[in-house]
């Protein structure tokens, strides 16, 4: 609060206080991950150094994880802190084991990683089918399956 009772000083103080609060709110905003007008993909077109104010203009892709919702980001943070231990994630988030698995699968799909699991499953099934048809020996099937790990 200003040390004087001058109305102008009080008004300037209040305006500066409001501006400081706006700056705090802006600095704590999440990066938008889609266009508010058409829901299209956003790209970063300008970067600025917080120290020297050097500006770089161009077209920069947002990191893949910038598209996560706050809920998904929190889930991923808990999952990583638990080192992938689903029981620990279940305990930390107070959700059931099937819910943890479902959220993990949904997160993998949103990040475009769900297809990796499907591909690995398809390749394992293909090896087993070749073994059943007699195209490969059991030892070869075991070696091929171990090679997928």
- Distance (Å, whole) CA 74 – CA 94: 13
The alpha-carbon radius of gyration of the chain (Å, integer) is 26
Q: Is the pLDDT of residue 88 over 80?
A: yes
Contacts for 41-48: CB closer than 8 Å, 24+ residues apart: none
**Which pLDDT tens digit goes with each residue over 91-118?**
999 999 999 999 998 888 888 887 767 7
Class of domain 68-112: mainly alpha
- For the entire predicted model, the pTM comes to 0.51
Cβ atoms of residues 138 and 131 within 8 Å: yes
Contacts of 24 (CB under 8 A, 6+ apart): none
Nearest to 31 by CA among 75, 7, 4, 64: 64
């Amino acid at each position: 609060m200003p040390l004087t009772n001058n109305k102008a000083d009080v008004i300037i103080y209040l305006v500066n206080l409001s501006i400081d609060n706006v700056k705090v709110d802006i600095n704590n905003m999440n990066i938008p991950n889609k266009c508010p007008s058409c829901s299209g993909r956003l790209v970063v077109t300008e970067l600025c150094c917080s120290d020297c104010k050097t500006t770089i203009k161009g077209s920069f892709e947002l990191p893949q994880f910038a598209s996560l919702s706050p809920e998904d980001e929190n889930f991923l943070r808990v999952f990583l802190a638990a080192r992938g231990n689903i029981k620990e994630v279940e305990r930390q988030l107070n959700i059931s084991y099937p819910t943890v698995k479902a959220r993990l699968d949904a997160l993998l799909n949103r990040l475009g990683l769900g297809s990796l699991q499907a591909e690995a499953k398809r390749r394992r099934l293909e090896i087993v089918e070749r073994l059943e048809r007699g195209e490969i020996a059991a030892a070869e099937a075991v070696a091929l399956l171990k090679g997928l790990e």
